[in-house]
């Protein structure tokens, strides 16, 4: 049982967007708890709302209903306690590698501290920030690229800088939206090992979105699948739900041999069917929510088979 503090709590979250004159539900009652040090991978078919969920956690958009907390504090907008890395365009093109990584720290100094701190002190802060950034970039094998601009870097290097840029702020949770999706296979494998190294070194909390099944199972300690392919008794199944929330066996981080293991092969088919196959719509009672922190910890059998998810939730909260 994981008794680490709760970092992320997504509670009864719905999100609808206007679509052709009406509201279309994208996220339908999403519940999620993540504890410190977890490496969660979120998998789901294209268009199921993965990026939408990340935007809600980031605070750049608010839920239609429900609420989200980071370390017990309600999310009302973006904050430095959440870092994000996108597939592309996380970097400022007109800034060098070093400037990109220092930027967040500097912005903070100027925004808050400068009004209260003497000039000499400010210069000291700046030196300190630069050293901190250099140290981090060294550790990420980018020490000799400090003065390069993003367009002079390979895709993999750019993503390493983007990760450094997010990590230097020491966020409570690092959000990643298909960060390796645009890389070629070899670079992608290198980057997977890279992010695992960073996780091992810092034991940070990571919430990693991907639509690549093998990547999700290889990187994560826990797999969450968000999908619009499911059935309910009421036919009100518009919007995606969490259909799988389970621990990924094989320890963490896993050896690269896991990618060719029988263990992985056995999970692949099950997860693909449950999450990604539009022709296989499981009933909400069949969701695999076996993780200790998954919302529905009471088995469907205990509730009777014709009750729907909502009434189960109602009963649990009364
Ligand atoms: P994913 O990241 O899983 O591929 P997204 O979260 O990007 O999915 O999108 C989920 C759905 O929400 C898509 O159908 C998309 O068209 C829709 N959507 C996303 N953002 C908006 C928006 N701002 N306005 C209207 N519809 C949106
Ligand atoms: Mg997306």
**DSSP assignment string, 204-240:** --EEEEES-HHHHHHH-SEEEEEES-EE-SSS---SB
- 204 and 220 share one domain: yes
pLDDT class for 281, splitting at 50, 70, 90?
confident
pLDDT at 291 over 80: yes
Dihedral pair phi/psi, residue 213, rounded to 5°: -60, -45
State whether residue 251 is helix, strand or coil. Answer: coil
- Dihedral (C-alpha) 55, 56, 62, 68: value to the nearest 10 degrees? -160
Mean pLDDT of 133-159: 95
The phi, psi pair for 89, rounded to 5°, reads 60, 35
Mean pLDDT of the chain: 89
What residues make up the domain containing 110?
Answer: 93-169
Residue 18 CA, closest ligand 1 atom number: 25
| 217 & 282 share domain | yes
What pLDDT, on the 0 to 100 scale, is given for residue 90?
Answer: 87
Mean pLDDT in residue range 97-102? 96
Quick one: pLDDT band at residue 303, thresholds 50, 70, 90? very low
**Protein residue with least CA distance to atom 24, ligand 1:** 17
Same domain, yes or no: 151 and 223: no
First-residue to last-residue Cα distance in the chain: 25
Nearest atom of ligand 1 to the alpha carbon of 50 = 3
> What is the domain count for the chain?
2
Q: Are residues 116 and 215 in the same domain?
A: no
Q: Which of 16-30, 62-76, 187-201, 223-237 has the lowest mean pLDDT?
A: 223-237
> Which numbered ligand comes closest to the C-alpha of 56?
1
Ligand 1 atom 5, closest CA: 49
One domain for residues 98 and 223: no
Indicate if the pLDDT at residue 87 is higher than 50.
yes
> Is the domain of 286 the same as that of 208?
yes
What is the reported pLDDT for 298? 43
Q: Say whether both 65 and 105 belong to one domain.
A: no
* CB 41, CB 223: distance < 8 Å: yes
The Å distance, Cα 276 to ligand 2 centre, comes to 15
Which residues sit with their C-beta closer than 6 Å to ligand 1?
17, 26, 44, 46-52
Substitution candidate for ligand 1 out of 30, 52, 56 with most atoms within 8 A of CB: 52
- Asked whether the predicted pLDDT for residue 215 surpasses 80, the reply is yes
Let me know whether 162 and 176 are in one domain.
no
With respect to residue 225, please indicate whether it lies within any of the assigned structural domains.
Answer: yes
- In this prediction, residue 237 has a pLDDT band, given cuts at 50, 70 and 90, of low
What is d(CA 275, CA 177) in angstroms, rounded to the nearest whole number?
18
* Alpha-carbon span 265 to 202, nearest angstrom: 30
Q: Is the predicted pLDDT of residue 318 greater than 60, yes or no?
A: no
- Identify whether 308 is part of a domain: no
Q: Which of 181, 260, 178, 187 is nearest to 218 (CA)?
A: 260
User: Percent of the chain scored above 90 by pLDDT?
Assistant: 74
Question: Within this chain, do residues 64 and 209 fall inside the same structural domain, yes or no?
Answer: yes
pLDDT value of position 305: 45
Arithmetic mean of pLDDT, 105-123: 67
Contacts 24+ apart (CB under 8 A), 77-80: 80/104, 80/108, 80/169, 80/171
* Protein residue with least CA distance to atom 25, ligand 1: 17
Find the 216 Cα to ligand 1 centroid distance in Å: 21
Distance CA 160, CA 170 (A): 15
Ligand nearest to the CA of 226: 1
Domain membership flag for residue 297: no
In this structure, is residue 303 part of a structural domain? no
Q: How far apart, in whole angstroms, are the C-alpha atoms of residue 154 and residue 167?
A: 20
Q: Supply the pLDDT for residue 65.
A: 96
* Structure token digits, residue 76: 């009302």
Q: How confident is the model at residue 124 (pLDDT cuts 50, 70, 90)?
A: confident
What is the 104 CA–ligand 1 centroid distance (Å)? 28
Structural tokens at position 100: 């990109």
CATH code for position 67: 3.40.50.300
The answer to whether 299 and 292 are in contact (CB under 8 A) is no
Q: In terms of domains, do 177 and 48 share one?
A: yes
């Amino acid at each position: 049982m994981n008794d680490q503090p709760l970092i992320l709590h997504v509670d009864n979250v719905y999100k609808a967007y206007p679509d052709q004159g009406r509201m279309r539900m994208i996220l339908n009652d999403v519940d999620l708890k993540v504890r410190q040090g977890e490496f969660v991978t979120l998998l789901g078919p294209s268009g199921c709302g993965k990026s939408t969920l990340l935007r809600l956690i980031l605070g750049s958009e608010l839920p239609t209903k429900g609420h989200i907390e980071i370390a017990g504090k309600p999310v009302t907008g973006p904050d430095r306690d959440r870092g994000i890395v996108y597939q592309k365009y996380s970097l400022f093109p007109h800034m060098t590698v070093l400037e990109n990584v220092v930027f967040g720290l500097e912005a903070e100094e100027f925004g808050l501290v400068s009004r209260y701190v003497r000039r000499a002190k400010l210069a000291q802060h700046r030196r300190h920030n630069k050293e901190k950034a250099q140290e981090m970039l060294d550790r990420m094998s980018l020490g000799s690229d400090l003065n390069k601009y993003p367009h002079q870097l390979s895709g993999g290097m750019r993503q390493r800088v983007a990760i450094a840029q997010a990590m230097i702020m020491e966020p409570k949770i690092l959000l990643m939206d298909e960060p390796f999706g645009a890389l070629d296979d070899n670079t992608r494998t290198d980057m997977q090992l890279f992010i695992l190294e960073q996780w091992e070194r810092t034991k940070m909390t990571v919430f990693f979105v991907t639509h690549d099944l093998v990547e999700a199972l290889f990187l994560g300690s826990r797999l969450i699948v968000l999908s619009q392919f499911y059935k309910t008794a009421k036919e009100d199944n518009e919007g995606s739900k969490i259909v799988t929330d389970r621990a990924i066996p094989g320890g963490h981080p896993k050896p690269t041999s896991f990618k060719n293991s029988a263990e992985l092969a056995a999970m692949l088919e099950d997860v693909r069917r449950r999450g990604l196959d539009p022709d296989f719509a499981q009933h909400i009672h069949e969701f695999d929510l076996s993780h200790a922190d998954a919302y529905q910890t009471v088995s469907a059998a205990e509730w009777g088979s014709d009750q729907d998810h909502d009434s189960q939730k109602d009963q649990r909260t009364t």
